[in-house]
Structure 1
Amino acid sequence: MSLYSILSSSDSEERWVNRISQYFEKEVVIHNVPVSVFSVPKAISAVKPEAYTPHVVAFGPYHHMQPKLYQMEKYKLAAIKSFLTLEQILNFQELVIEKMKKLEPVIRACYHKYLDHDGDALAWIVVIDGLFLLDILRGYGHVKRSQHKNLKQDAVLCRDVMMLENQIPVILLKEIRKNLQLTSAHDGDDLELFLMLRGFCQLHSPLKLARVSSTSPYSSFLHLLDLMYLLIVNHQATTTRPLEQAFCLEKTDGRADAVQHQSEEEGNDVILDVGEIVEMGKHLGIVRSVLKPVKVIQDMPWEKISNLLGLKMGNEHDKDNHPTVEEITIPSVSHLSKFAGVKFSHTAGSIGDMRFVQGEATLYLPIITLNANSEVVLRNLVAYELALSNSTGKLAQYVDFMCGIVDTAEDAQLLREKDIIRGDLSNEEIADLFNGMNRLSAKARNKTVDKINEYYNKRPMVKGYNFVKKRVFASWRILTLCSTILLLFFLMNSFCQVYGCPQFFGRIR
């Protein structure tokens, strides 16, 4: 077998030949069965692969046979037998397996990757994992808000359920329930199954979901992750503008955008460093003469001064341990608040209700609830959105936006105080979450970002810095001279604050 073959053995090759010839001769055509379970590209999973690979349990053929996950097999079977009748168990092969084998072309059509399993194995995998998923979902059908905490028994298990490569298509879940008579014969759309899936989404979604009435169409979603995605992107407040108005896609040159991003980020850092150095200067102005010169000099913000001068003191080895993650070009929450006076407020809607009102200098953001599994849910939702050929990238743009404005724990705290961020994660964990997610909509920008950047760059403090950067810091020679003078000034000022040097200054004059 070739090292790069999708087939694992000569038996697999034989199965492949038989299957292809059978399809060719019988002209098997699968209608209205779209591919819905995609494999996550390495370009997306490279930054954090563990967020896309199940840790405890596999659902479906992609990971079912992995040794580290197969130990759950006996627990799956025990859970399944616990809610089946004796008659169903005794006639399981005839009731379910044989009927699912007839749907082999449909099963294969749902999955993006080639499935190296014969018909029998594929039917058993789908039925076992499908029934185990249904067992997990049983408690979510009619859940009151007060009962939600009781359903959070295994956070790791629920996290695996939401992974893109771990989805079981709804068309197969409906078939399993119908064959075992777990649904009413008159309920063609299986409303009970929808209520269970929606209940799970309501409990584990980090963003608000669209309300669905009993008369709404609920049979068009493809699997659990697809349902959560549709409920998130279709949720609108009553007074919300359409998302297309808030997020207007504009093509841009990725290289130019990256250069601009780097320049503006450096500018933001310098502004913050200047502010902290000014505060330190005020502190030095009231230092008592009892302090030693060494202590005064030691207490000076040398790292901040060096950053201001472009002389980074950080350990270069840290760059290897923490790969650079690209983000959109936008100031952070703390910078917008400190240097542009931007206020923040939560909205009643979801991602479609996000907007910046320039007249109010207010950025309106949807409420997001972040818990232990939220990062995995967000990452897999976005990965699924990017896999859809007809997607506009709404969710990816929102996630990119949050990654751009939340850089530090201070940013997270400011949004928490405005009730925009909720949940159990600490401010540091929230900052790590958004800093660890790479930019996903690299070829698109939205008008909200452009409005904020335009407003921010017109603020007096920012304009002053941009002028200085353009006129003074353009030359490295001038920068070196300025840095030397600045360092000498701080040293001289610190020394004179302790010992006093009027005679020295008199000579200079």
Structure 2
Amino acid sequence: MSLGSILSSSDSEERWVNRIGQYFEKEVTIHNVPISVFNVSKAIKAVKPEVYIPQVIAFGPYHHMQPELYQMEKYKLAAIKSSLRPEQILNFQELVIDKMKELEPVIRACYHKYLDHDGYALAWIVAVDGLFLLDILRGYGHVMYSQRRNLTRDAVLCRDVIVLENQIPVILLKEIRKNLQLNSMHDDDDLELFLMLRGFCQIHSPLKLARISNTSSYTSCLHLLDLMYFLIVNHQVTPTRPQEQVLGLEKTDGRTDAEQHQSEEDTNDLILNVGEIVEMGMHLGIGKKVLKPIKVIQEMPWEKISNLLGLKMGNEHDKDNHPIVEEITIPSVSHLSKFAGVKFIHTVGGIGDTKFVHEGATLYLPIITLNANSEVLLRNLVAYEVALSNSTGKLAQYVDFMCGIVDTAEDAQLLREKGIIKGDLNNQEIADLFNGMNRMSAKARNKTVDEINEYYNERPMVKGYTFIKKRIFASWRILTLSSTILLLLLFILNSFCEVYGCSQFFGSSS
């Protein structure tokens, strides 16, 4: 076998040749069976591969035969046998396996990756794993929401259920239920199944779900993750606004992440220092005496001065460096709050209701509940969206937006206080979750990003920082130190004036 082949042995090659030959001769055509279970690409898996693969139990052919997961096979079979009647167990081959074998072309059509299994092996895999999944979902059907909360205790099992590569197509679950007559006599088979699927989504979704009255919307879903994705992206109170087909990405200047982070911390200190210096100056009554020299300093030919001193200007970065895409360009929650006075309010809607209202400087965000499995679920939902050819990228846009505004535990705490973030994760875990997410909104960007950036960049304190960063970027550490010393001197002067009075020097203080 050649290195990297999709086939594992010469027997597999023979099966592949026979199968291709049979399909070619019989002109097998599968209608209305879309590919729905995608294998996650290496590019997406590169950042954190473990969140895209099952850890304990496999559902479906992608991971069924892996040694580290196969040890759960006895557990699956025991659970299945306990849910079946004796006559169903006795006639299982005839009732289920033979029927699933007849659907082999349909099964293969559902999966994106080539399946290196013969027909009967594939039938057994789908039957066993499908029945085990149905046994899990049965508890999410007609019981009340408060009772279903107890079903979240097995977090590891639920984690593996939501992995994209672990999905079992609904068309196969319906076939298993029909063959074993698992549906209630007084209920429609499809409706009962989709109530169970929606019940699972209701419990485990980090975002609020749409209320769909039309049952055809449920019955057209492809698998569990597809239904959750559909209910998340279609939950919206306000009408959808037009999207800008421009991806807002931040280009780096060749520095490492650590260097950029340190630069941001020091320049933020500089912003705070400048703001306090201005306030202290106004308190001392310096006022225009300070602002006039600042204006003179701003109008000085800094580019020529920097060239004479050998300083590197902010607009002279090496143009040969290839930009590295990291995240959307947007300030963090704490920066928006401190430097621009932005307020945060949770909305009862969904991700499509994220909006920034310029009047009142208010950012509306949907409520998100983050628990142990939330990162796995969000990553797999976005990976599924990326794989869909007709998706709008709404969920990836929202996730990227949250990754952009949540940088630290302080950001998470601010959103928690506003009721936007809920759940069991602590503030640092929330920050780590969003900082570790890879950016995947490659189709479009919500206009909210532009509106926030425009508002933020017009704030006086931010404009002052932008001027300093643009003119004398290389000397920000000196400026930070100088501003700190100046602020200290002003504090000393203020203390002196409070004791002895300085009105003869600066005029009356306020």
Shorter-chain TM-score tier: 0.7 to 0.9
Helix, strand or coil: the match of 1:217? helix
Show the counterpart of 1:73.
73
Deviations 1:241-283 (A, max 9, x none): 21x43xx1323586x755699999888544422256679999x
Deviation at 1:445, TM superposition (A): 2.7
The answer (yes or no) to whether the contact 1:356–1:452 under 8 Å persists in 2 is yes
CA RMSD, aligned part only? 3.1
Deviation at 1:480, TM superposition (A): 8.5
State the AA in 2 paired with 1:379.
R
Deviations 1:13-65 (A, max 9, x none): 00000000000000000000000000011111111111111000000000000
- Cα gap change, 1:177 to 1:353, in 2 (>3 Å): same
State the AA in 1 paired with 2:179.
N
Show the counterpart of 2:168.
168
Distance in 1 separating the partners of 2:9 and 2:24: 23
| 1:250 and 2:245 are equivalent in the alignment | yes
Show the counterpart of 1:307.
none
Show the counterpart of 1:452.
452
- Cα gap change, 1:209 to 1:443, in 2 (>3 Å): closer
- Cα gap change, 1:203 to 1:399, in 2 (>3 Å): same
Show the counterpart of 1:306.
none
- Cα gap change, 1:137 to 1:461, in 2 (>3 Å): same
Equivalence map 1:28-427=2 (5 Å): 28-183=28-183, 190-213=190-213, 215=215, 217-237=217-237, 240-242=238-240, 244-245=241-242, 248-252=243-247, 257=251, 269-274=265-270, 326-427=326-427
| 1:486 and 2:482 are equivalent in the alignment | yes
Deviation at 1:485, TM superposition (A): 7.9
Distance in 2 separating the partners of 1:399 and 1:414: 18
Deviation at 1:149, TM superposition (A): 2.6
Distance in 1 separating the partners of 2:440 and 2:412: 21
- Cα gap change, 1:435 to 1:485, in 2 (>3 Å): closer
**What stretches of structure 1 of length at least 5 have no aligned partner?**
283-309, 311-323, 501-509
- Cα gap change, 1:491 to 1:385, in 2 (>3 Å): closer
Deviation at 1:489, TM superposition (A): 5.1
- Cα gap change, 1:118 to 1:448, in 2 (>3 Å): same
Show the counterpart of 1:25.
25
Distance in 2 separating the partners of 1:208 and 1:484: 44
State the AA in 2 paired with 1:334.
S
Helix, strand or coil: the match of 1:445? coil
Deviation at 1:190, TM superposition (A): 1.5
Show the counterpart of 1:290.
none
Mean Cα deviation higher: 38-47 or 72-81: 38-47
| 1:438 and 2:438 are equivalent in the alignment | yes
TM (norm. structure 2) is 0.81
- Cα gap change, 1:187 to 1:21, in 2 (>3 Å): farther
Distance in 2 separating the partners of 1:12 and 1:396: 38
Show the counterpart of 1:507.
none
- Cα gap change, 1:29 to 1:259, in 2 (>3 Å): farther
Deviation at 1:228, TM superposition (A): 0.2
The answer (yes or no) to whether the contact 2:273–2:487 under 8 Å persists in 1 is no
Distance in 1 separating the partners of 2:354 and 2:476: 44
- Cα gap change, 1:281 to 1:19, in 2 (>3 Å): same
Deviations 1:314-352 (A, max 9, x none): xxxxxxxxxx98211100000000000000000010101
State the AA in 2 paired with 1:250.
Q
Show the counterpart of 2:290.
none
State the AA in 2 paired with 1:13.
E
Helix, strand or coil: the match of 2:217? coil
Distance in 2 separating the partners of 1:331 and 1:492: 28
State the AA in 2 paired with 1:486.
S
State the AA in 1 paired with 2:482.
L
Distance in 1 separating the partners of 2:186 and 2:234: 29
State the AA in 2 paired with 1:65.
M
The answer (yes or no) to whether the contact 1:371–1:423 under 8 Å persists in 2 is yes
**What stretches of structure 2 of length at least 5 have no aligned partner?**
279-310, 312-323, 497-510
Show the counterpart of 2:287.
none
Deviations 1:340-387 (A, max 9, x none): 000000001010111000012000000000011111010000000000
Mean Cα deviation higher: 162-171 or 144-153: 144-153
Deviations 1:176-234 (A, max 9, x none): 00000112578665111100000000000000001123655321100000000000001
State the AA in 2 paired with 1:467.
F
Show the counterpart of 1:319.
none
- Cα gap change, 1:381 to 1:491, in 2 (>3 Å): closer
Show the counterpart of 1:469.
469
Distance in 2 separating the partners of 1:463 and 1:87: 77
Distance in 2 separating the partners of 1:90 and 1:487: 83
State the AA in 2 paired with 1:453.
N
Deviation at 1:492, TM superposition (A): 11
Helix, strand or coil: the match of 2:159? helix
Deviation at 1:148, TM superposition (A): 2.8
The answer (yes or no) to whether the contact 1:325–1:436 under 8 Å persists in 2 is no
TM (norm. structure 1) is 0.82
State the AA in 2 paired with 1:251.
V
State the AA in 2 paired with 1:202.
Q
Show the counterpart of 2:500.
none
The answer (yes or no) to whether the contact 1:252–1:443 under 8 Å persists in 2 is yes
The answer (yes or no) to whether the contact 1:260–1:329 under 8 Å persists in 2 is no
The answer (yes or no) to whether the contact 2:415–2:421 under 8 Å persists in 1 is yes
Count of residues in Structure 1 that have an aligned counterpart in Structure 2: 448
Distance in 1 separating the partners of 2:74 and 2:202: 29
Helix, strand or coil: the match of 1:363? strand
